[in-house]
Structure 1
């Protein structure tokens, strides 16, 4: 039986980055379907936003020189020329000293005005006379042309994952078709004589397929396209033909189960059977998830993931997801939550550990409480808010120690 030659998580990630170069094509999609997609190229504005000067308050457009020194005890008296209607050009302008125009929030600032006095600081003496009780400076309560976005400005950078907020910005600029990266196709193969489909009733010694659906939904959430090749028994020829089919149809392949060194674990043997193949990593110094394979077959990444659901989920989160993000130049960053650890916890040195936790709010402070679950079980993982990473050179954590919690996405 071969022994694992384990590498660190960082080393495994570096090996992936050094050995693979994918060129995902660009595709244009409708703005309404762009949520969650990754921008293919910088989005550059062709217009100013706003394209006209507009008021940020309800009030009176004035020339600030006409209200210099104005106060409640000595208000400035201005002549009201009219009002600006929403969505229309300003039909009046300030041509002479002492004139003003009423402007609603968002209304166009008339020519000759350089500021707006909030209506709360004014008083209507009669239909033609307004008392201004407060001085203002040039530009007060006015959004200038291009204040939000200017022509030729990069408004959304390549690699940005589109949220509803970026969608709103794109709509304000008139974009209807958006350039995004094609979703990478990810093949999923579950292996094991003990695994049966979710519609089957397991016999004693058998379990329903968890990892296919765990991986499938994770891949969807990460804006890739999963392809399910079903459950494959621990038979060399059957697994090889399935992997061969997946390699022809997908950008990468995930094989769940069969990555260890047991007698019936076929993944390494199948990978080696392809002419253009190389096992880059067999074993990562991590708990859970040590028996992980990273290989290059016909220029494509093939991952051998642990069969246990918790281990499979952790390796997907820290290795596969990171790789999918790099394929699409995804520049989004994760920002962990700082918490206090709830107990004293000991771990073995020499490998990183990823520990699922739940968060509790105690006296307005977040407490991270670990979930202890055997690696073959999934319920503990499903209850977790996220996980903490414990460095390989650390022997454990103390109660009350500050930790960073990364959310399971």
Structure 2
């Protein structure tokens, strides 16, 4: 279900954006519009740690203990008093006993003595330094330490230096990774509060589309967009509702949108938002919700619809709506330009800017100022720098060019032509696509 707190209206958001023009919307302005409009989920679940990978924290994780709980050794070696280290001659210390992890040395260490200690073992009272065993020589029950191999305080982990009692170990909105699960476990916590998963319904539109396994009639194509969307959405850990292919029919489109709005937080469609599409598409969508039809200053991916569809269920619930272009490459580009961060934000996470790789253009690239362009490239290391080569024809229907590429060349709104050798920004696909 969608959230109970309604977002602002499209008109309210548009009024906050200077120079808003839905017929020529810059990418950055569309991103800001979406960020201001989308709501966040409100329901919280408590999960066992092993089930929480990839989920979003719904509250800060506060440490109930000091980590580490005691001063302890960072090395296998000998614990000693730093004040007893000689600076101009070897230091000779008697071994007074041993301290192991979980079996700390008991009693006092007399002056001129040290304790054999293992990594993680509690530092004996009064000792503040550890010399690694490989720097020492053992002569009977005496350890000989050359001058200058350690300084007072070396190789000692202080109580609470990782986390102090009452300190936030992880902040709300963190997407939990393997290291985070280990950190929470180190605090003795078996469960963690997370936001519930975002529910996303998606479908493709068009009489020409066929699902895999159906015969391919003349003029028809297999629907690839649902599989691309399914893969991209899976990477975000959302719950998926695949509504298949919806034909170019007003009643069918309305039924699919109503089903999606009743079942999901977000609806994503591909196709049916370009100039020249049947009039009923706009009429149906606007009758069911509050939707803006945009022409975004970008290539590929110029046509896009955005807003919300009202649910027919009880209450004033709605689902955020993204109407993406029909061309396969444009679907992927608009998803990563607009949809990805919106879904993360709705799911309770704070999106971070995707990392860009600085590379050198292998050849000249034509580019008009006044729009953001995304070109498929192969980025390879040449000597001390990265070089980006465009993967041939950049038509928005050529999905093979996306499969062959390992990154997207991002040419910003104000950018003009690029000369061979010019520095360019590349969004790597590794971990993304």
TM-score of the pair, normalised by structure 2: 0.87
Deviation at 1:265, TM superposition (A): 6.3
Provide the residue aligned with 2:323 in structure 1. Answer: 304
Find the partner of 2:100 among 80, 85, 106.
Answer: 85
Deviation at 1:287, TM superposition (A): 0.5
Q: Does residue 246 of the first structure (1) align with residue 260 of the second (2)? A: yes
Question: Are 1:196 and 1:207, in contact at CA under 8 Å, matched by a contact in 2?
Answer: yes
Distance 1:43 1:333, change over 3 A: farther
Provide the residue aligned with 1:383 in structure 2. Answer: 404
Provide the residue aligned with 2:334 in structure 1. Answer: 315
Q: Does residue 174 of the first structure (1) align with residue 188 of the second (2)? A: yes
Provide the residue aligned with 2:302 in structure 1. Answer: 290
Question: Are 1:287 and 1:354, in contact at CA under 8 Å, matched by a contact in 2?
Answer: yes
Q: Secondary structure at the match of 1:246?
A: helix
Unpaired runs of 5+ residues, structure 1, are none
Q: Secondary structure at the match of 1:353?
A: strand
Find the partner of 1:97 among 101, 108, 111.
Answer: 111
Q: Does residue 338 of the first structure (1) align with residue 358 of the second (2)? A: yes
Find the partner of 1:56 among 74, 89, 93.
Answer: 74
Deviation at 1:26, TM superposition (A): 1.6
Q: Map 1:13-32 onto structure 2 (within 5 A).
A: 13-32=31-50
Q: Does residue 407 of the first structure (1) align with residue 423 of the second (2)? A: no
Q: Does residue 129 of the first structure (1) align with residue 142 of the second (2)? A: yes
Distance 1:134 1:104, change over 3 A: farther
* Corresponding pairs, count: 400
Question: Are 2:295 and 2:304, in contact at CA under 8 Å, matched by a contact in 1?
Answer: yes
Deviation at 1:18, TM superposition (A): 3.0
Q: Distance in 1 between matches of 2:221 and 2:175?
A: 37
Distance 1:156 1:265, change over 3 A: farther
Question: Are 2:330 and 2:396, in contact at CA under 8 Å, matched by a contact in 1?
Answer: yes
Q: Distance in 2 between matches of 1:123 and 1:263?
A: 84
Q: Distance in 2 between matches of 1:373 and 1:87?
A: 62
Q: Does residue 373 of the first structure (1) align with residue 373 of the second (2)? A: no
Provide the residue aligned with 1:361 in structure 2. Answer: 381
Question: Are 2:257 and 2:309, in contact at CA under 8 Å, matched by a contact in 1?
Answer: no
Deviation at 1:240, TM superposition (A): 0.4
Q: Map 1:100-111 onto structure 2 (within 5 A).
A: 100-111=114-125
Deviation at 1:234, TM superposition (A): 0.2
Q: Secondary structure at the match of 1:61?
A: strand
Q: Secondary structure at the match of 1:52?
A: coil
Deviation at 1:81, TM superposition (A): 1.1
- Cα displacement string for residues 319-341 of structure 1 (whole angstroms, at most 9, x for unaligned residues): 11121122123243422111111
Q: Map 1:155-174 onto structure 2 (within 5 A).
A: 155-174=169-188
Question: Are 1:342 and 1:369, in contact at CA under 8 Å, matched by a contact in 2?
Answer: yes
Question: Are 1:195 and 1:231, in contact at CA under 8 Å, matched by a contact in 2?
Answer: yes
* Larger CA deviation: 130-139 vs 146-155: 130-139
Deviation at 1:6, TM superposition (A): 2.8
Q: Distance in 2 between matches of 1:123 and 1:395?
A: 68
Find the partner of 1:118 among 117, 129, 132.
Answer: 132
Question: Are 1:339 and 1:367, in contact at CA under 8 Å, matched by a contact in 2?
Answer: yes
Deviation at 1:250, TM superposition (A): 0.5
Deviation at 1:122, TM superposition (A): 2.3
Distance 1:159 1:340, change over 3 A: same
Provide the residue aligned with 2:29 in structure 1. Answer: 11
Q: Distance in 2 between matches of 1:61 and 1:134?
A: 16
Question: Are 1:117 and 1:134, in contact at CA under 8 Å, matched by a contact in 2?
Answer: no
Aligned CA-pair RMSD: 1.9
Provide the residue aligned with 2:162 in structure 1. Answer: 148
Question: Are 1:31 and 1:167, in contact at CA under 8 Å, matched by a contact in 2?
Answer: yes
Unpaired runs of 5+ residues, structure 2, are 1-21, 311-317
Q: Distance in 2 between matches of 1:66 and 1:216?
A: 65
